[in-house]
Amino acid sequence: MITIRTLDAAEAWAAIPALADLLVEAVDAGASVSFMAPLEFGDAMAFWTEVAGSVAHGQRILIVAEQANRLVGCVYLDLVPTPNQNHRAEIAMLIVALEVRRHGVGKRLMVVAESQAAKEGRTLLTLDTRAGDKSEKLYRAMGWTEVGRVPRYARASTGRLEDTVFFYKELPRAKDLAAE
């Protein structure tokens, strides 16, 4: 059974090694999540240390999927802090372990991320993904709207430049407020 939960600051700190393992696996398998292959474990540890620090400061929300006491997925929300944009958040780094892909884990992580964003008063979410990735289909199926594509926006883990697709989603609260 896979459980999805939001980590508090102490849990985020404790999960750093498992998150680093997950990130290394994803990058080495070709995921387009900000890093190049091969990803060194120490670099992954440093990245998640920064994320855990921002969770502790209330700047990010970290959500994980666990199976049999093992971390098998994650996603985090960047909470935009600026006064003129504090109604929105960005979905970042959705990763699902290879052995549990295509079992709805990514969707479940996204559902919780959207719910957590709403609890934080966020009414607009944004994200980007490599054009053609399976995640692009997931986002469309979950009601995300494509804003556009930027050619050669980011490097794949192999180094090749690839197009990126940008999406947004208004949370139901945003639509309800607009109707008032």
Digit-coded pLDDT (tens) for 143-158: 999 999 999 999 888 8
- pLDDT score of 135: 92
| Alpha-carbon torsion (59, 162, 43, 27), positive or negative | positive
Identify any residues that bridge with 127 across adjacent strands, giving them in sequence order: 167
Q: Is the pLDDT of residue 100 over 80?
A: yes
pLDDT at 159: 84
Q: Is the pLDDT of residue 119 over 70?
A: yes
Using CA atoms, how far residue 13 sits from 20, 40, 46, 54, 108, in Å, is 12, 19, 11, 11, 23
Output the pLDDT for position 176: 53
Whole-number Å distance between alpha carbons of 179 and 110: 26
Mean pLDDT along residues 125-134: 95
User: Are 48 and 19 within 8 A, CB to CB?
Assistant: yes
Q: Is the pLDDT confidence value at 102 over 80?
A: yes
- What is the pLDDT at residue 173? 66
Over residues 91-96, the mean pLDDT reads: 96
Q: Which two tokens stand for residue 64?
A: 């994980």
pLDDT of residue 180: 46
Question: Rounded to an integer, what distance in angstroms lies between the CA atom of residue 91 and that of residue 117?
Answer: 9
